Amino acid sequence: MEALEAIRRRRAVRTYTDRPVDDETLDRLLRLALVAPTGSGAQAWSLVVVRDEAVRRQVADLVIDGAGRYFAIMRPPADGHTAEQHAEWARGYAEQILATYRIAPVWIVAALVPRGNYPAQMAEGGHLDDLFSLAFAMENLFVAARAEGLGTVPTTAFQRFEKDRLREILGLPADVDPAIVTPLGYPEAFPEGLPPAIKKNRRTWRALVHDDRWGAVRA
């Protein structure tokens, strides 16, 4: 698939098969990720490629648990539900939509690795630049994966509750932040569009473009 088509057709994929990804394909994606622009040339990143079955399982469990906590916070409780009933619903919902994370053959953990190259007065901006750079690298990977028929989903929120446990699972130093994770695998199917709940609030690209001055949108 061509790059433009891959950009258009990349989607957040949340259902995977256990079909393996061969090493050559994986290496190609990793190299494409790491040619992304990097602020100050810092390369404040590393990609942990998780293929070991036991480790993958722990990462998937942690992400699914975190998704349950995320949905409990982000979704409103059903009428009359207690906090405990709502939390129970959220855990079940996460399990229902993400269960195949446990069989995805690869997880990529994109880690922010401080390089100590920003003076104190640039530390905050430098940190943001490092995060932007990591996100650019992962977008390269997401698009390249789509071109290869492989699914991914940028995941930043679900692991947020348990970063220390994730560090422990992967042996990451305390100052390394597993900021973005994704399963990588062949999907059951690529979603063609957005889920209805997201689609109904989606702005058109024209509504987000201002010509010359703020306010002159094209919509």
Ligand X SMILES: Cc1cc2nc3c(=O)[nH]c(=O)nc-3n(C[C@H](O)[C@H](O)[C@H](O)COP(=O)(O)O)c2cc1C
Give the residue, chosen from 33, 138, 153, 184, that forms a contact with ligand X under the rule CB under 6 A: 153
Closest distance of CB 154 from ligand X, Å: 4
Residue 101 backbone class (left: φ over 0; alpha: ψ -120 to 50; beta: rest): alpha
**CB closer to ligand X out of 122 and 207:** 207
Q: Residue 122 corresponds to which amino acid?
A: M
**CB closer to ligand X out of 11 and 115:** 11
CA 115 to the chain's CA centroid: 23
Region binding ligand X by CB under 6 A among candidate stretches 21-29, 116-124, 154-162, 169-177: 154-162
Residue 185 near residue 14 (C-beta atoms within 8 A) = no
Token pair for 131: 């995060």
Residues 64-123 that bind ligand X (CB under 6 A): none
Per the listing, tokens 């070991």 go with 52
At residue 89, what are phi and psi to the nearest 5 degrees? -60, -45
**CB closer to ligand X out of 38 and 159:** 159
Strands of the sheet with 45-50, listed across from one edge: 45-50, 106-112, 177-184
**CB closer to ligand X out of 22 and 100:** 100
Q: Are strands 45-50 and 177-184 parallel, antiparallel or unpaired?
A: unpaired
- Count of alpha carbons within 13 Å of 29, Cβ hemisphere only? 29
Residues 28-57 that bind ligand X (CB under 6 A): none
Give the residue, chosen from 49, 87, 156, 190, that forms a contact with ligand X under the rule CB under 6 A: 156
Give the residue, chosen from 3, 122, 194, 217, that forms a contact with ligand X under the rule CB under 6 A: 194
Q: Is 155 in the site for ligand X (CB under 6 A)?
A: yes
Region binding ligand X by CB under 6 A among candidate stretches 29-37, 73-81, 112-120, 151-159: 151-159
The binding site for ligand X (CB under 6 A) comprises 11-12, 153-158, 194, 198
